[in-house]
């Protein structure tokens, strides 16, 4: 985890810990929305987990082996979930992402659900979990996208985000990468 000044912890949440690292205050999520996500997470058997909101400039420290810019929005690792904030996201899209990541955590608590979702998972070795196409095809990604869209009321998914990152890439979509499980 990147070294930094102490993060501000959001105490409105009870079923997970939410840390806003310096520079992410403009993306602070609506406390009522965070509370609804927290209630959903608790009611679905979510285990305590740390969620960190970082400025996107910290990506290289969070994933030293995944430096290519704008390949992912969030990543779940052993030390918790990490969401990246910059002008391509809004506080609402970060809440959507939070729900998406916690959806993965809920699925992990049920081996039978996880097993069932393996069917239809992309098999191509070249297709990384950070790839845009992986998110369109993989049943687990589609399900957790559905959780987030149902709770937030808007589909702020990869396609929505990619339209916001494309101007920075001059119209190119970054290709697949090879490391980590990314969202």
Sole window of 65-73, 110-118, 137-145, 163-171 interacting with Zn ion (rule: CB under 5 A): 137-145
Stretch in the footprint of Zn ion (CB under 5 A) among 14-22, 53-61, 89-97, 133-141: 133-141
Name the residue with the smallest CB distance to Zn ion.
Answer: 183
Does 183 bind Zn ion (CB under 5 A)? Our answer is yes
Whether 144 contacts 103, CB under 8 Å: yes
Token pair 């959780």 is found at 147
Nearer to Zn ion, 29 or 97 (CB): 97
Task: Compute the least distance from the CB of residue 143 to Zn ion, in Å.
Answer: 10
**Backbone φ/ψ region at 72: left (φ over 0), alpha (ψ -120 to 50), beta:** beta
Q: Does 53 sit near Zn ion (CB under 5 A)? A: no
The helices-and-strands tally (H runs, E runs) of the chain is 7, 5
What phi and psi values does residue 74 have, to the nearest 5 degrees? -155, 155
Can you give the binding site for Zn ion, defined by CB under 5 A? 141, 183
């Amino acid at each position: 985890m990147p070294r930094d000044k102490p993060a501000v912890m959001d105490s409105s949440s009870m079923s997970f810990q939410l840390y806003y690292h310096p520079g992410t205050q403009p993306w602070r999520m609506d406390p009522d929305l965070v509370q609804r996500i927290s209630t959903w997470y608790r009611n679905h058997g979510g285990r305590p987990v740390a969620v960190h909101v970082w400025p996107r400039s910290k990506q290289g420290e969070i994933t030293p082996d995944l430096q290519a810019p704008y390949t992912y929005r969030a990543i779940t690792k052993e030390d918790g979930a990490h969401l990246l904030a910059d002008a391509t996201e809004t506080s609402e899209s970060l809440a959507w992402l939070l729900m998406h990541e916690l959806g993965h955590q809920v699925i992990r608590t049920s081996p039978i659900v996880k097993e069932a979702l393996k069917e239809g998972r992309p098999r191509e070795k070249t297709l990384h979990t950070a790839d845009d196409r992986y998110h369109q095809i993989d049943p687990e990604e589609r399900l957790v996208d559905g959780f987030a869209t149902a709770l937030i009321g808007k589909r702020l998914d990869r396609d929505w985000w990619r339209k916001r990152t494309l101007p920075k890439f001059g119209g190119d979509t970054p290709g697949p990468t090879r490391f980590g499980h990314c969202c």
